[in-house]
Chain A
Amino acid sequence: MQRKKECVAMLLAGGQGSRLYALTNNIAKPAVAFGAKYRIIDFPLSNCVNSGIDTVGVLTQYEPLELNEYIGNGQPWDLDRIFGGVHILPPYQAKKRSSWYEGTANAIFQNMSFMKKYNPDYVLILSGDHIYKMNYAGMLRAHAESGAACTIAAIEVPLKEASRFGILNVREDGSIYQFEEKPKVPKSNLASMGIYVFTADKLYKYLEEDDQNPDSSKDFGKDVLPTMLNAGEKMMSYRFEGYWKDVGTISALWESNMDLLGTDPTFDVGDPTWKIHSRNPLAPPEYISDTGEVDNSMIALGCEISGKVKHSVLSSNVVVEKGATVTDSVIMSGTVIKSGAKVCYSVIDENVTVGKKACIGADKDDASGITVLGRNIAVADGARVESGKIIDKDYKGE
């Protein structure tokens, strides 16, 4: 008897995330650091494992090096399995064709043989762009019970923001009668979360048809889903009520980090019943010195804090020297804030050196925007980086 999996997850992780600017110069968006010790991809991967899904294909394309290394053999998520587990799926050269992934649907289409190897009943399509905790098992059950060809996770968004999303227009029973991709005048505020469950045979059929269609842009939202609806397939929405954030912009990434703070946080990563797994840093506990002050912040292992940190999120091995202040900021691992430096309302990537008495950004209330420093750069002693600037090279001031 052929072994099988009830559900295989396919995680689209090839996006560039161009609206994160300097943060994704050399890494794929799902590999961007989040919440002091995580990377964005930890959330969908942990959701899979916590939902009982142990077979995940991760489709990579843009700058995959760091993402590949991070995922490794999948052990941090218990995804190093004899049958199943996590598999990195880059574009490849085939006998008849070889091409980059041309769209979300094409990426999945090119990995048909991966999915079929597990003979799944259902395929779960995920993206590596969102911060959320979701039990996919509930969605799978709803999908199976409804007998739909496809079920799409949906969340209510504020009506004024609805035109940024793919909007689902649904009947009372949750079945979908219309898709509107980023409508100017939305009919509803029910947005697609980019999470789809397909009955496997239906997915294969429509992907093959889509591949043959020269007019298709090979995208799920624009092409495959509308085609299925027009063909009369039963398509259901699955309501999700909880925290869900697309961290595709600098400000969304910043906000989502800040949502972790406080005793009763908007988003709790410390929930023991839904652990977020990650590759842990090899570092001793963080050290707060006699001169250190940490207020309303999240600090990861290996940090050495001798300055003031307020309302900020610091990843592992960050050093804040004496007399330096960090306020309303997200600092990623290995960055050093030298003595007397002032960092306000900024996102600073990994392994940055902020020189002595340098000044990054401005107070949140006066700032023109979030200041961003890209990875592996140095800001000279005394240099001043204006608020809202994005710097991705060594900076000596103007």
Chain B
Amino acid sequence: MARSAVGVVFCNIQDKNIPELSALRSIASVPFAGRYRLIDFALSNLVNAGITTVGIVTKNNYQSLIDHIGSGKEWDLARKDGGIILLPPYSNETDAPYTNRLEALKGITVFLRHRNEDYVVLYDGDAVARLDVADVIRFHEESRADITMVYHESVGVESHYYMTLDTDRSNRVKAIRINPKLGDKKVKMYMSVMVIQREYLMNIIQNAVQSGFSSFGRDILSKNLDTMKIYGYKFDGYYTGMASLPTYFKANMDMLNKDVRNELFGARDIYTKVRDSAPSKYIEGAVVKNSLISDGCTIEGTVENSILFRGVKIGKGSVVRNSVLMQETVIGSGVKLDCVITDKNVVIRDRRHLSGCEELPYFVAKGKML
């Protein structure tokens, strides 16, 4: 159980990676794996580590996020003491809302000052992983680190902003590279999850503001590796961040893998908002293979290698392959889809054929009728 830590989840900081999905919502509230939103992983991992106070750092387009989180009760975060604390951007006539992580942190200093927990876990809301945050905090304490950065050894995917770490044998971080070119060799990708002493973080923020710094990674972390004790925590499980639309597509498809699914959901401790949809109905003649089907669906056609969110309807004679269909997507009859992502409330009329490929899935925006 984590001793005295508070969570801070950044919801918009990676929005630029998938403009298709984050045009109308924060990246953290992008629907995922049939019935979840990306932020469910961050929130559940924090809660499962015994953390009962989580600050939610938002910036814009956060209506769907707030609708999803509600009072926080689904994550046991509707609390008298702490619980979910929404931290919308601070702006006035002279200060615009934050444009980077450092400004976002500056905006939450009042929140940080009023807590009394020892540690802060900074967590990006788009990281899909079942991470044992309590173990990261234990590691942080045992290595007497100032900062612990969680990384995942993999080939990695380039995005708007990412970091790789070099660590020595004692796991001390020796170099931080920002947006390096990635080849096919494995690198230590920073998962955008960090543990840091609360007061230490407040000092960093104050100094950075006085020095006029603008980048948390570039100006602070990577420049002070000699004076700051920064350690890397290696995470060995399944992890994916949301670098691009194809990454999002692949991550959904990864959920069809039994081992990945068991790792993430086997313990049944990833929480999400519930909606009281009826169970899904498979009509006579329906064919469903290698697919995840959420509740409220009605399937009359064929579905293969696909993820169906709540309330999706598949008409007679339609064939849906390798696709991700979000909530309330309605597929008419005789439709053929291959490598398609439909956002919420999309209607595909009878006999339409749409196809993309894994590298470039065909995307249909929210509410569109084709």
A residues with CB within 8 A of B: 35-37, 75-76, 260-263, 269-270, 275-278, 280, 282-290, 292-302, 309
Known: A285-B308, A301-B35. 19 other contacts (CB 8 A): A35-B279, A36-B279, A37-B279, A270-B277, A270-B281, A278-B276, A282-B271, A284-B270, A285-B35, A285-B295, A287-B261, A287-B291, A288-B291, A289-B290, A292-B288, A294-B286, A298-B280, A298-B282, A301-B295
Q: Looking across the interface, which residue of chain B has its beta carbon closest to that of A279? A: B274
Measured between beta carbons, the chain A residues less than 8 angstroms from B34 are: 284-285
| B293 in contact with A285 (CB, 8 Å) | yes
Q: Which of chain A's residues have a CB closer than 8 A to the CB of B308?
A: 285
Bound CA span A263–B315, Å: 11
CB-defined A-B contacts under 8 Å, sample of 11: A37-B278, A283-B268, A284-B33, A284-B265, A285-B293, A285-B307, A287-B292, A288-B290, A298-B281, A299-B293, A301-B279
Q: Which B residue's beta carbon lies closest to that of A261?
A: B281
A282 and B269 contact, CB distance less than 8 A: yes
A299 to B281, CA, bound (A): 7
* Residues of the A chain whose Cβ atoms lie less than 8 Å from the Cβ of B270: 284
Q: For residue A262, which residue of chain B has the nearest CB? A: B283
Contact B292 A299 (CB under 8 A): no
Query: Smallest CB–CB gap between B289 and chain A, Å?
Result: 5
Q: How far is the CA of A302 from the CA of B274 in the complex (A)?
A: 14
Alpha-carbon distance A276/B290, docked complex (angstroms): 29
CA separation between A280 and B274, bound complex, in Å? 7
Docked Cα-Cα span, A289 to B265, in Å, equals 16
- The CA of A294 and the CA of B286, in the complex, are separated in Å by 7
Contact of A285 (CB < 8 Å), options: B264, B287, B292: B292
**B-side interface mostly:** loop
Q: Are B261 and A270 in contact (CB under 8 A)?
A: no
**What does DSSP make chain A's interface, helix, strand, loop or mixed?**
loop
CA separation between A94 and B285, bound complex, in Å?
Answer: 60
A43 to B343, CA, bound (A): 33
B294 within 8 A of A: yes
Question: Is there an interface contact between A263 and B291, defined as CB atoms closer than 8 Å?
Answer: no
* Contact A299 B283, beta carbon cutoff 8 Å: no
B288 / chain A contacts, CB cutoff of 8 Å:
288, 292, 294
Name which of B268, B280, B282, B291 has the most chain A CB atoms within 10 A of its CB: B282
B289 touching A299, Cβ below 8 Å: no
User: Quick one: CB contact mask for B254-276 with A, threshold 8 Å, 1 for yes?
Assistant: 01100001001100111100101
Residues of A within 8 A of B33 (CB): 284-285
Determine the distance from Cα of A280 to Cα of B278 in the docked complex, in whole angstroms. Answer: 10
When the two chains form their complex, are residues B282 and A297 in contact, meaning their CB atoms are under 8 A apart? yes
A275 neighbours in B (Cβ, 8 Å): 276
The reply to whether B294 and A301 form a contact with Cβ atoms under 8 Å apart is yes
A284-B261 in contact (CB<8A): yes
Residues of A within 8 Å of B307, CB to CB, are 285
User: Nearest 3 pairs between A and B by C-beta?
Assistant: A285-B34, A36-B279, A270-B278
Nearest A residue (CB) for B308:
A285
Q: Does B296 contact A (CB under 8 A)?
A: yes
Q: Is there a chain A Cβ closer than 8 Å to B298's Cβ?
A: yes
> If the complex has contacts A282-B269, A285-B33, A292-B289, are A299 and B280 also in contact, measured as CB distance less than 8 A?
yes
Name the residue of chain A whose CB is nearest to the CB of B255: A284
**CB proximity of B300 to chain A, nearest CB, Å:** 7
Q: Cβ of B268 and Cβ of A302 under 8 Å apart?
A: yes
- For residue B142, CB closer than 8 A to chain A, the reply is no
Alpha-carbon gap, A286 to B307, bound state (A):
10
Q: Which residues of A contact B300 (CB under 8 A)?
A: 263
A36–B280 alpha-carbon span in the complex (Å): 9
Task: Give every chain B residue within 8 A of A262 (Cβ-Cβ).
Answer: 281, 283-284
Which residues from chain B contact A299 at a C-beta distance below 8 Å? 279-280, 282, 293
Q: Give the distance in Å from the alpha carbon of A288 to the alpha carbon of B258 in the complex.
A: 11
Q: How far is A300 from B297 in the complex, measured between Cα atoms in Å?
A: 10
| Residue numbers in B under 8 Å from A294 (CB-CB) | 282, 286, 288
B152-189, CB under 8 A of A: which get 1 and which 0?
00000000000000000000000000000000000000
